[in-house]
Amino acid sequence: MLRNRANATLEREAQILDEVLENAMRGGVFIVPPLQGEIAKRLGKPVALSTIYRMLARNGWRKLAPDTAHPQGDAAVREDWKKNFRGSWAKS
């Protein structure tokens, strides 16, 4: 039985997430927006990102680590910027 305005039952949601998040279950990292198409295909209708985030929350998934840096960013440049940035905030 479906909940009010639900796309799938809780069991079906868990099954879809198990299929889509196979790598994350082994300790990998996943990004939600690219999963939107896969989940929509399995549900058979378009879904909003907020729906996917709520689906993840209902099934016990949560954000464990902050997204602090872009994967293609240069760590050395970022550290250099951090070291030099505070000097510009000095009181005059």
Q: Give residue limits of the domains in the chain.
A: 1-64
Termini Cα distance of the chain: 67
Question: Which residue pairs from 73-82 have beta carbons closer than 8 angstroms and sit at least 24 positions apart in sequence?
Answer: none
For the chain, the average pLDDT equals: 76
**Per-residue model confidence as pLDDT tens digits over 28-71:** 667 788 888 888 888 888 989 988 888 888 888 776 666 677 77
Global pTM reads: 0.55
